[in-house]
Amino acid sequence: MQKPELVQKAIYAREYAYAPYSNYPVGAALLTASGKIYTGVNIENAAYPVTMCAERVAVFKAVSEGEREFEMIAVVTENGGSPCGSCRQVLAEYGLDTLVLIADCHGNLVEEMTVGELLPKAFTPKDLM
Q: Catalytic amino acids?
A: 55
Report the DSSP beta bridge partners of residue 43: 18, 52
Taking residue 89's Cβ as centre, other Cβ atoms within 10 Å add up to: 16
Q: Which residues contact 96 (CB under 8 A, 6 or more apart)?
A: 114, 115, 116, 119, 122, 124
Closest CA to 70 of 97, 35, 24, 33: 33
Q: Looking at 1-129, which runs of residues are DSSP E strands?
A: 27-32, 37-41, 70-77, 99-104, 109-114
